[in-house]
Structure 1
């Protein structure tokens, strides 16, 4: 192995990442304008629930990074992560939505799904698994959920609506006043 090989490998990864991001941007623009392919969403799993996120609301998908704990924060607020030089608050969505499970080490396939910069909120959800693009228009509506051709139930999740929830914005634990 020569001294230049690790650098070439890093350059190749960077090029592939840039190409992937360009393809994703093209798809997002096509979805936004209504041209091209049908609107697709990002499929992810948190706990036992599978969610569909609008691609325009989702940012990067990265492997979990070490978290800096935040004292006196809500149990669902896992801490701060450095994602490509940006501090991002990491949320355990299952606990935020009421699951009583104690936080555990991320599963082997876990990912952080960051919020799109357009939402103006440096935040990420810890996903147990990310499934990639899903075509919601080909699914059958069942109440508030969607069922795909494989009979799997998906719950739509709006990150834009999430950041407008007052409870989501208050990460500090509230003292018990009696």
Structure 2
């Protein structure tokens, strides 16, 4: 019986944008990074901040405030980049999500998650999995796999390749003979 109850607990990484609390399913999160240097790529949407170098790979970074229609915020010591894995039509894209701060991993059972509110045409609730609650605060649970369009994911992949998404071997690696 205890195993059955554990299976129904979902873990979410909570983060803030302004005064609002959001959450991502922990299964989509690869890691959390401190803010690092972001290289801007010209002629990309405003919410695409640029690319970062993550262990030799260019990873596109999205400003989640701008993507969600909020005003641009100032970067602070708490600003973080959440590295997420997005699945779209069977393909995976690695992307960075710039957020104001990361809070904690929070567990919620499905019965404590309410459906996304219907707020009319002004707000796109397609990417909201639901609403959770922690103490007296609401937590907006985002479905990271639905927040980006196919076109936006294609731009992200292009940004990664423009920024050197495929790791270029170091000169000593290229010069070294292949081992059999």
Q: TM-score range by the shorter chain?
A: 0.5 to 0.7
Deviation at 1:107, TM superposition (A): 1.7
2:152 is the counterpart of 1:168: yes
Two-structure CA RMSD over aligned residues (Å): 2.9
Verify: 1:156 aligned to 2:141, yes or no.
yes
Distance apart, 1:73 and its partner CA: 1.1
CA 139–81 in structure 1, closer or farther in 2 if over 3 Å, else same = same
CA distance in structure 1 between the partners assigned to 2:151 and 2:14 by the alignment: 25
| Partner residue in 1 for 2:108 | 136
The answer to whether the aligner puts 1:52 opposite 2:23 as a matched pair is yes
Cα deviation for residue 98 of structure 1 reads 1.7
What TM-score do you get using the length of structure 1 for normalisation?
0.65
The alpha-carbon deviation at position 93 of structure 1 amounts to: 1.3
Cα distance in 2 for residues equivalent to 1:72 and 1:34? 49
Determine the C-alpha separation between the residues in 1 that align with 2:136 and 2:37. 36
The alpha-carbon deviation at position 48 of structure 1 amounts to: 2.9
Gaps of 5+ in 1: 1-32, 173-178
* Structure 2: distance between partners of 1:166 and 1:97: 17
TM-score, normalised via structure 2 length = 0.64
The runs of at least 4 consecutive aligned structure 1 residues that moved more than 6 Å come to: none
- Give the paired residue count: 138
2:97 aligned with 1:125 = yes
Higher strand content, 1 or 2 = 2
Instruction: For structure 2, list consecutive stretches of 5 or more residues without a partner in the other structure.
Output: 118-129, 157-180
1:71 aligns with 2:71: no
- Deviations along 1:41-71, whole A, 9 cap, x unmatched? 1111123321111111111101011011111
